[in-house]
Amino acid sequence: MNGKAAIGVIVVLVIVAAVLGYAYSAEMELSNSLKGSNSSLDQKVGSLSSQISALTTNYTALESSYGALQTEISQLNGSIHQLNTSLQNNQTNVVLSQAFTHWDYIAVENATLLTPQYTPNATLKWIGGPLSGTYTGLNSISSTWNKFFGLWSAVWFYTESPPVVTNSGGTYTVNATVQWVLTSFATPQQVNTIVTNYTIEMHYFGGKPLIIMEVWHIVGVGVVSYPAKEVESLQTDAMMNASFSHWNNIAIENVSLVMSQYMQNSSLQWIGGKLAGNYTNYSQIQSVWTKFFGLWNAVWFYSEAPPLINMNFTQGSAVSGTVTADIQFVVQSSSNTSSFDYINVVYTIDFSVINGSFIITHEIFDNVGIGPLSQVSAFA
C-alpha cells in the first residue's frame, strides 16, 4: 500500500470514528434525557398514585358518611311519620271530645254555649219531628235549638257504642247513635226517649275543630211512664230539695241565689224581731234579706226533724205545695264577731210549680225564740 492509500484509509477511519463518536455521544445524551424523563414521569406517577390513594380514602369516608346520612334520614322519616300519626290521632281525639261537649251543651239546654261550636255558615239538617228542616247560619241554628229547648224541661243523653271518627282530606266526620231522655214542660210526669243517628262534620280553624255540618236524624221515639205514686214521690222530694236550697242560700248569705226562688209578686211575712213586717213584692223582699245579712257575719241552719210537705196535684202533676219546718239558725254578729246567737223559726213556704220549677209565692219567717247561743232553747 502506497502512502496515499494509507492516508486515505486513515482518513476514512478517522471519519468513521468521528461519526461513531458523535452517534455514541448523541445516544448517551438521548439516554440521559430519557432517564431524566423517566425520573420525572416516576415522580408524576408517584404523585398521581398519592392523589389517587387520597381520593380513594376520601371516597371511602364520603361513602361511609353518606350511609350514615341515609340512616339518619330514614330515622327522621320514621320520626316524622310517628309525629304525623300522633298529630292525626290527637286531632281525632280532640274532634271526638268536641262532639261529646256538643251533646253536653244540648243536654244542659244552653244555646249560648252551642253557637260558638259552629262556623258562621254551618248547616244543621233536622230529619223527623216538628223541627224537621235545613237551617243554615248561626242565627237560624240558634233559633232552632231554642225551639227544641222550649219543648223540654230536662234533657239527658247517652251512647251505647263509641262514636266513630273518620278523616278525609281534613274533614272530620263523627257518626254515632245518640239516645236522648227528656221530660216535657207539658207533661213533666212523662219521660220521653228520642233515638238519633247523629252525624257531625268538622274542620280545623285556628287549631280548633268547628262544626260545618250537623245531621240530627230521628230514627225512633218512645215514652217511659212511671206509676203515679212514684211521680208524686219524686215531686215531693223535689219540693223538699227546693226548701233546703232556700235555707242553704240564706245560710251562705247570697241575696242573688235567695231571690232567684221568688216571683215578682211573691210575699214574705216576718214575725218577731227587728225585721217584723209584711213584704209584698220582689223589691221589698230583697231589701229585707239584705238587712238580715247585714246583721250577721255568718249564718248556719239545721232542722231536727224532716219538714212536713203537703202537695197539690192536677192530672198527676204537682201544681203547688206547702212546706213547714222548725228551723234553727245559728248566727254570728257583724258588730261583735265574738257573739253568737240562735234564732228559732217556725218556717212556712208556699210553692207554685212554674215551668217545672218550684217558685216561692208566700213565705212566713216566724221568729219564736232568740238569744245567746249559750242559752239556746228548744222549740216550744
202 shares a domain with 180: yes
Kindly tell me if the per-residue pLDDT of 76 is higher than 80: no
Q: In the listed set 226, 245, 271, which residue is the last one of a domain according to the structure?
A: 226
What pLDDT, on the 0 to 100 scale, is given for residue 106?
A: 94
The residue behind cell 234553727 is: 328
Shared-domain flag, residues 301 and 214: no
Closest C-alpha among 224, 253, 239, 270 to residue 366: 270
Under DSSP, the state recorded for 116 is G
Residue 72, domain member (yes or no): no
294 domain residue, yes or no? yes
One domain, residues 297 and 281: yes
Task: Write the CATH number for 108.
Answer: 3.10.450.50
Res 38 pLDDT > 80: no
Average pLDDT over residues 309-336: 90
What is the C-alpha to C-alpha distance for residues 18 and 352, in angstroms, rounded to an integer? 153
179, pLDDT greater than 80: yes
Q: Same domain for 312 and 187?
A: no
Within a domain: 142: yes
Q: Which residues pair with 167 in a beta bridge?
A: 172
Are 271 and 205 members of one domain?
Answer: no
- The C-alpha atoms of residue 379 and residue 343 are separated, in whole angstroms, by 10
Domain that holds residue 360: 229-375
Domain boundary among 181, 200, 226: 226
Residue 226: which pLDDT band, with cuts at 50, 70 and 90?
low
Angle ∠(182,188,190) on CA atoms, nearest 5:
65
Is the pLDDT confidence value at 225 over 90? no
Both 249 and 207 in one domain: the answer is no
275: three-class secondary structure by DSSP = coil
Residue 253 has pLDDT above 70, yes or no: yes
Q: Is the pLDDT of residue 228 over 80?
A: no
Collapsing DSSP to helix, strand or coil, 117 comes out as helix
Question: At residue 1, does pLDDT exceed 60?
Answer: no
128 torsion bin: left (phi>0), alpha (psi -120 to 50), beta (else): left
Q: Are 163 and 187 in contact (CB under 8 A)?
A: no
Of residues 5 and 124, which shows the higher confidence score?
A: 124
* Separation of alpha carbons 123 and 224, rounded Å: 32
Please tell me the total count of domains within the chain. 2
Q: Are residues 177 and 207 in the same domain?
A: yes
Mode of pairing for the β-strands spanning 262-271 and 277-279: antiparallel
- The whole model's pTM is what? 0.46
